[in-house]
Amino acid sequence: MPASKKSFTALVRQEVAKDMPGIDDKRAFVRACFLAGGTISDPHHSYHLDFILDEAKMLKLTRTLQGFGVGAKVTQRRGVSVVYIKEASEIVDILNVMMAHKSLLLFENIRVEKDLRNNLNRKVNFETANLNKTISAALEQIEAIEFIEQHVGLEQLAEPLEKIARLRLQYDAASLEEIGAMLSPPIGKSGVNHRLRKICEIANSIKGEIQVD
């Protein structure tokens, strides 16, 4: 099987199986436990490391890992003791304990790439949601302004509202900040938003008076 096709468990096993003269007994024990019954999920998909052991080794392993600052958990699966870790940072610690430094670097690279991709996706989703909200608000404002223009005329609005209304119609893709900057004197986003809300309220009031659906 080509190296690129090996599971992450196989890559770690290959590294841990190599002789390491001078390694201390505790680290050697953790390495032996992994070779005997350890598995680690592909970090591209999830973070999970298991040691499937007999009761005596399970107790010794948990104590050993605690000595390295790793709080592994224990469960039973089909009558077999399983020591497991689901925190990526603690899996990194265990790889370090086992002196599996190549696997550790690979794991960390994958984790960083995943975090960057997830953060980018969250940012894109957030910006898309904000854009959709902005577009919906602009369409609602334009609809209200066109309704007022059709039924009573924009000149019936107070001058500050009329100016905002005409700019909104003329520059339908402009942001509130951009519209505010076109006024003389310019006003801020909150001022523009307040006037546009007032225009929408006036349109709704006119609809109520003339009973327009």
- Domain residue limits, the chain: 3-112, 121-210
d(CA 51, CA 39): 7
Give the pLDDT band of residue 2 (cuts 50, 70, 90). Answer: very low
Residue 11 has pLDDT above 70, yes or no: yes
**pTM above 0.75?**
no
Residue 28 has pLDDT above 60, yes or no: yes
Question: Tokens standing for 120?
Answer: 């980018």
Stretch 26-52: mean pLDDT: 92
Sheet containing 49-53: give its strands across: 38-40, 49-53, 80-85, 73-77
CATH of domain 3-112: 3.10.28.10
Q: What is the pLDDT at residue 75?
A: 84
Helix/strand/coil for 39: strand
